[in-house]
Amino acid sequence: MSTPPDGLPRYRVLTGPYDASFCQRVSEALGLGHELHQGPAVTFDGGNVIVAQAVVRPASP
């Protein structure tokens, strides 16, 4: 199993308003070797679209 950089866990759930900042955080996680885990969860809080995306770092062969 590979160790994520900077002590990050293998499994992470990123949450927040669906905006450029959220997309950047997901992109950074993918750049660090994480992969998307299924599709995102999306809700609306009356003013903003809120999204959650799980990412996992795959085990090394």
Query: In the block, which residue shows the tokens 């590979």?
Result: 2
Q: How many CA atoms lie within 13 A of 38 on its CB side?
A: 8
Average pLDDT of the residues of the chain: 90
Q: What is the residue range of 49's domain? A: 5-56
Mark 24-37 as b/e (b = at least 16 C-beta within 10 Å).
ebbeebeeeebeee
**What is the total count of domains within the chain?**
1
Q: Checking DSSP bridges between strand 11-17 and strand 41-44, what pairing results, if any?
A: unpaired
* pLDDT score of 4: 60
pLDDT band at 5 (very low <50, low <70, confident <90, very high): low
Q: 40-58 pLDDT, tens per residue?
A: 999 999 999 999 999 999 8
DSSP class of 40:
P
Residue 20 lies in a domain: yes
pLDDT band at 6 (very low <50, low <70, confident <90, very high): low
pLDDT band at 1 (very low <50, low <70, confident <90, very high): very low
12: β partners: 55
Residue 61 lies in a domain: no
